Amino acid sequence: MITFKHRGSFKNSERFLTNYDKRRLLSVLNQYGREGVSALSSATPIDSGASASSWSYRTSVSGGSFFIIWENSEKTAQGTPIVILLQYGHATRSGGYVQGKDFINPAIKPVMDKIAEAVWMEVIRA
């Protein structure tokens, strides 16, 4: 069991979270969204180049949480995202298997680290 005791109030923290200009944080997230697209495009294995050039991002706010969503629009005829097949591997029609290559996580980790630092700096600055 976890017990939490406190004295005082969270009034200052709640005021900060309520009054913080969400547009500033979205601006930071948009900057890193673009950087993530660049990192993912550079790291995507290239055959035709279609998957590498199909990365995009969007930011959103929902219930007080901020999100960056990176997407790749290149899909197989059956609708499977090609980057998922590249990342995790896939079976072939002849019964073989193509081993996946983890390219997404190493490419996006430096961007995620920068996001964490930038968001923390926004909290400190505000």
Residue 105 amino acid letter: N
Q: What is the pLDDT of residue 111?
A: 96
Mean pLDDT computed over 25-42:
94
| Selected residue with higher pLDDT from 2 and 72 | 72
% of residues, the chain, pLDDT over 70: 86
Q: What is the pLDDT of residue 115?
A: 92
pTM: 0.78
Domain ranges of the chain: 20-125
Phi, psi angles (nearest 5°) of residue 108: -90, -20
Mean pLDDT computed over 3-7:
61
Where residue 16 falls among pLDDT bands split at 50, 70, 90? low
**Residue 54 to residue 46: CA distance in whole angstroms:** 12
Distances in Å between the Cα of 13 and the Cα atoms of 9, 61, 84, 118 are 9, 19, 40, 19
55-62 vs 89-91, strand pairing mode: unpaired
